[in-house]
Amino acid sequence: MSNQPPADVVVVMIPFVAHGHLNQLLHLSRLISAYNIPVHFITTTTHLHQLRSRLHQYSNAALPNNNNINFHQLPTPTFTSPPPNPSNRFPTHLQPAFESTIHLRHPIADLVASISTTARRVAVIHDVLMSYTVQDVKTIPNAETYIFNPLSACDAFWRKWELKGRPFPMDPDVLNLLPSEDGTLSPEFTEFMIFQYPHVGFHVGELFDSSRVIEGEYIKYLEREEFNDKKKIWAMGPFSLADKLVVTVLGNRHNCLQWLDLQPPNSVIYVSFGTTTTFSDRQFKELAAGLERSQQRFIWVVRSSDMGDVSGDEAKMSDLPVGFEERVEGRGLVVRGWAPQVEILEHVGTGGFMSHCGWNSTMESILAGVPIATWPMHSDQPRNAFLITDVLRVGLVVSDWEHRDDLVSSLVVEDVIRRLIDSSEGERVRKKAVELAEAVRRSVSEGGECRKEADSFVSYINRE
């Protein structure tokens, strides 16, 4: 660190090693660096490689070390990831990768201590699932920690409300609609979360990749004394939208965007289930049949679930039904592997998104003004689906959580796609989605909610 120029305030980012979590804090790194604050992004060698390979389309200045964003890669012990298991909705095959982060405690402490010698203050922003690894930061005199919550404020509130014994009453009608937590996490991951708990509470405040425009009610709940022990909360999102002020997109357009150029406005449903979903062969074929039967235009991203050792993209993907691509040629497009999701959602031809309702995907769809056909798989996704369909009313249900173990038939898939793309009901939710997107985009302009939150956070870490 001796070659680094002295700085007044430095930010250190410590993401969790799931791609969605990494992606969120990369966006936040760019946002904070735009305030002329040096950022140090610390992750494993394996996952930095994954991040770089997936974000190659961005400006080269955003990824290598430079004056404002410095990437640090730390080794972890070798681990073996089992193959994804379609019978487990939660990605249990990633558990060895998750547990490998425990070994980062001392390397992170040493690195933050070294960084602290070059600054008046070090603000360490860490994923809540990395709380164990940052426990020694509190011994560094000029360092302070901030928890990053990678989930929706909606999911965070309801989990805390239950955990604290329902400290105040909530609308019983809402409770009747709220999906249960049952089955959202694996027992092993629940233990991993509990392992983090003793090291939570030393933080100055908490950050959300959300907006008061989207989740204002839930953010206000989280600010109540019963929940945060007078900790500060900043809802600075959507990080990805604010990040657009910083990132320059380079490179050739993906062929699916060229195909979209030829389609009528709002006529295509985009189908993608993120980086951790594994369907059974039977469910995969029902989905394919539903897309075919719908007679609607579609882009379907077919990819294997991520592996902890980042070999997932090379793993065997499910086989499409014989002749499927030939039968849907011209109307449907299958994309294997990675796809430019943000660009697809923002394209005028896209009229709907069939999604697992991961928080990154949810926010990206909201920002694009695209309604969502909800099919949650695990974690915060059932509560995100509830937020989409029952609170914001910008989506339709494909599969509800209480019937999560039922096969979703091709008839259901067909029906939801038709309703979303080609019905007055679909037009109504699309109109609400567009109105919400416009409100969120206004929030990042001067004087908007998002801009105020970011300015407030930067002002706080710069305090004397």
Examine the domain organization and report whether 231 and 309 are in the same domain.
Answer: no
CA 289, CA 414: separation in Å to the nearest integer? 8
Lookup: tokens for 408: 């979703």
pLDDT band at 33 (very low <50, low <70, confident <90, very high): very high
Give the residue with greater pLDDT, 55 vs 162: 162
Computed over every residue of the chain, the mean pLDDT equals: 89
Which DSSP string corresponds to 334-356? EEES---HHHHHHSTTEEEEEE-
Instruction: Cite the DSSP H helix spans in 127-247.
Output: 153-163, 172-177, 187-196, 212-222, 225-228, 239-243
- Tally of structural domains, the chain: 2
Examine the domain organization and report whether 234 and 331 are in the same domain.
Answer: no
Look at residue 214 in the predicted model and tell me its pLDDT: 96
Contact 222, 233 (CB under 8 A): yes
Q: Does residue 337 lie in a domain region?
A: yes
What average pLDDT does the segment 250-279 reach? 89
For the beta sheet containing 332-336, the strands, ordered from the edge strand earlier in sequence to the opposite edge, are 332-336, 297-302, 268-272, 350-355, 372-374, 395-397
The most confident of 3-7, 80-84, 114-118, by mean pLDDT: 114-118
CA 312, CA 323: separation in Å to the nearest integer? 26
Examine the domain organization and report whether 42 and 180 are in the same domain.
Answer: yes
Give the residue with greater pLDDT, 35 vs 48: 35
pLDDT at 117 > cutoff 90: yes
* Identity of the amino acid at 243: D
Q: Does residue 311 lie in a domain region?
A: yes
Q: Does residue 2 lie in a domain region?
A: no
Closest CA to 460 of 203, 138, 149, 200: 203
Examine the domain organization and report whether 66 and 96 are in the same domain.
Answer: yes
Please report, for the domain that includes residue 322, its CATH number: 3.40.50.2000
Q: Does residue 450 lie in a domain region?
A: yes
Please identify every residue annotated as catalytic.
21, 127
pLDDT at 246 > cutoff 60: no
Beta bridge partners of 108: none
Examine the domain organization and report whether 452 and 420 are in the same domain.
Answer: no
Q: Beta strand 297-302 with 205-208: parallel, antiparallel or unpaired?
A: unpaired
What average pLDDT does the segment 117-129 reach? 96
Domain span at 242: 7-247+445-461
CA 82, CA 93: separation in Å to the nearest integer? 5
9-23, 315-329, 358-372, range with the lowest pLDDT: 315-329
Examine the domain organization and report whether 126 and 272 are in the same domain.
Answer: no
Q: Determine phi and psi for 351, rounding to 5 degrees.
A: -115, -5
Burial of 225 (0-12, 13-18, 19+ CB in 10 A): exposed
pLDDT at 313 > cutoff 60: no
Examine the domain organization and report whether 233 and 101 are in the same domain.
Answer: yes
CA 427, CA 241: separation in Å to the nearest integer? 25
pLDDT at 49 > cutoff 90: no
